[in-house]
Amino acid sequence: MTRRPILLPVLAALLCPLTATAAPSEAAQSARDAAREYGAAVRNCDLAWALDFMYPPVRRTLADRLANRDPRREAESARRVMGIERESEDEARRRMKAADDALRTQYRKMGERMKSQGLVIEKFSVGEPYSEYAVSTSAAMVRPVLKDRDGKVQADSIQADADRSRIVVLPTILVVKVPVGRGEFRRLERRDYIYAIRDEVISSPVNYRGTKLNKWYFVDSNTDVNTLRAYFPALPLDIDVPPVGDRPLD
């Protein structure tokens, strides 16, 4: 999918409203309600706060990528992967915290830069859930919920004791006022989407993903499906997403 270069890259984390062919489930509606709180942070360009809504495993991936831009860190990471070097649990914890702090600083500065450049987010709205997936560790456990006739997960489609997460595609509309020079502005509308994700069943006594059970987290539409499949191997590659695009309003 080609991204539109006319907005700042960070704005690709935002949404567009369409309705699905079946009635959304109660879980999907709760995802939409949670996204409204996330949207408040987006409207205020408070990207550091919005980062707190990101699905923790994806957030850690972004933090690691940022840390590995330093050639020295990249070499250290390669040596750990190859087993040449080992680190203690405390060292790993400190490394991950430092990477996360750097990511938070980056997001905070992006938000501050947006404000300093005069960019104003006039509207950020969340539409009806577009598609919904209950995801377990097996490909046989995946069901596109909103494609079912009643829009609900069938009771026998997922093992009761299997780890289970839910992914809801939420369309959005973003209206932004972008400075174009000499005190002039251009208003643009972006139609896009985000993924709402929550873990509903965790069978292991230790939750290595760092999530809170049944809490909704969000991932922007720039995240490749294969990245999500690293955490949800049973997620289909051809998930249903709404059309996206930009259009000038003035």
Q: Is 249 helix (H, G, I), strand (E, B) or coil?
A: coil
Give the chain's domain count. Answer: 1
Query: What is the rounded distance in angstroms from the CA atom of residue 67 to the CA atom of residue 73?
Result: 6
d(CA 128, CA 67): 37
The phi, psi pair for 205, rounded to 5°, reads -65, -20
C-alpha span between 85 and 222 (Å, rounded): 33
134 falls within a domain:
yes
Inside any domain, residue 4:
no
Q: What are phi and psi of 156, to 5 degrees?
A: -95, 10
Q: Specify whether the CB–CB gap between 194 and 35 falls below 8 A.
A: yes
Q: What is the pLDDT of residues 15-64, one digit of tens each?
A: 333 333 456 789 999 999 999 888 887 887 777 777 888 899 888 888 88
Residue 19 · residue 128 · CB < 8 Å: yes
Determine how many CB atoms are found less than 10 A away from the CB of residue 39: 23
pLDDT in tens, the chain (250 residues): 444 433 433 333 333 333 334 567 899 999 999 998 888 878 877 777 778 888 998 888 888 877 776 655 555 655 555 455 666 777 777 878 888 888 888 888 888 888 888 888 888 899 999 999 988 744 444 555 554 444 445 444 444 457 889 999 999 999 988 888 777 889 999 999 999 999 998 877 777 788 899 999 999 888 888 888 888 888 888 899 999 999 998 7
Backbone CA torsion sign across 106, 112, 118, 123: positive
**Residue 103, in any domain of the structure:** yes
* Tokens, residue 229: 């499949």
In a domain, 2, yes or no: no
pLDDT at 79: 52
- Cβ atoms of 101 and 142 within 8 Å: the answer is no
pLDDT, residue 76, reads 61
The answer as to whether 5 is a domain residue is: no
Q: According to the model, what pLDDT value does residue 131 have?
A: 93
The model's pTM is 0.73
The packing angle between helices 71-81 and 56-67, to 10°, is 120
pLDDT tens for residues 111-126? 888 888 888 888 889 9
**pLDDT score at 179:** 83
Residue 47: the pLDDT is 77
Whole-angstrom distance, CA of residue 249 vs CA of residue 36: 23
The answer to whether residue 123 sits within a structural domain is yes
Domain that holds residue 158: 10-248
**Angle at which helices 89-116 and 56-67 cross, to 10°:** 90
